Amino acid sequence: MNEQAVVFVEKEELHRLIKNKVMKAGLPEDHADEVANHLSYADSRGVHSHGAVRVEYYSERIAKGGSNAKPNFSFRKTGPCTGVYEGDNAVGMVVARNGMVEAIKMAKENGIGFVGMRKLGHCGTLSYFLRMATDENLIAMSMCQSDPMVVPYGSAEPYFGTNPIGFAAPCAGRPPIVFDMATTVGAWGKILDARAKNKQIPPTWAVDSAGRPTTDPFAVGGLLAIAGPKGYGLMMMVDILCGSMLGVPFGKHVSSMYADLSAGRDLGQIHLVINPEFFGGMDTFASYLGRMVEEIHELRPAEGCGKVLVPGESSEAVAEGYARNGIPIVKEIHDYLVSDDVHYDRYDGKSAFASDSQD
């Protein structure tokens, strides 16, 4: 496959282009600004699977009513440390941000904040919300549902979604420790990114419709869980906490990202925020974590490897480079962003793998 040409764009310009596009699709300015904040953040840190590559899909869903542009939000505290945020099928970034705000408030007051968010759309990259907590010197975990696209261990057909898990902890004097991972070997967004760049994928990421390993991102019929049965167990855990526990659809009943763009997704998500001050104390926590990072950095690298890093450091390095040189955006995507078109009607009615077949 021949790789696509790219255009280098400043983060502020990328934000402006994304905000303009989703506002044209029908979002109010404050919601559009949050979507642009989120997607430009993802691209600026090299997470292109959750950046501008998603804008056309979001715009088509917004324009067709599947993302509620005039939601009726509500938050109900169910205990001193728990609550449920009703998203009314608004764009997921806005709902997940609002839910994190409530979780942070409770963690500051009572040591723990656990918020379940019901009926929201695709929320993007979890690290964006996790960093909201670390900015307040709090620890955070987040996880959410996604489309049934993954073949459980031993199965020949999909049942669960990529069901990502994220964790972040503040680290005094350093960027926070952050990891944000799908419970599949490769996230679906990375398949989309490979399609946009016309690149092959590793043979360990996915299988075709016959269950055979594939390197063609356009032939994917099922994604593979990380570490076989271990990843399968993790994605089931995420689905239980974000689906059944919150009273929204679970497993194979979770709505497809593409099947009907005029309907809400009804997804579930959770944030768990922890205040270290209520446990070992913030000073001790910061001291121990700082020492841990120093000791990891001092480890002898394996042959062929550089300095041993902690989760989140590689994206910090990418962000610094992009700040100097611009963010690389696939030219076809950039052409769409600067065009007057809202979307090209390319996603509605597709299968879970964005193909024409529903088999």
Residues in the chain: 359
Listing DSSP states for 76-134 in one string gives EE-SSSEEEEEEEEE-HHHHHHHHHHHHHHHHHHHSEEEEEEEEE-----THHHHHHHH
The closest of 308, 328, 330 to 318, measured between CA atoms, is 328
The residues, any chain, with a CB within 8 Å of residue 295's CB and separated by 6 or more, are: none
Q: Choose, from 15, 38, 122, 271, the residue flagged as catalytic.
A: 122
Which one-letter amino acid corresponds to residue 62? Answer: I
* Axis crossing angle, helix 29-44 with helix 127-134, rounded to the nearest 10: 90
Q: In the annotation, is 48 catalytic?
A: no
Residues 281, 259 contacting (CB under 8 angstroms): no
The residues, any chain, with a CB within 8 Å of residue 234's CB and separated by 6 or more, are: 163, 165, 183, 225, 226
Q: What is the token pair recorded at 247?
A: 């009273």
Q: What is the token pair recorded at 240?
A: 């239980």
Task: Give 325: exposed, middle or buried? Use CB within 10 Å, 0-12, 13-18, 19+.
Answer: exposed
The residues, any chain, with a CB within 8 Å of residue 332's CB and separated by 6 or more, are: 4, 196
The SS3 of residue 8 is strand
Active centre residues (catalytic): 122
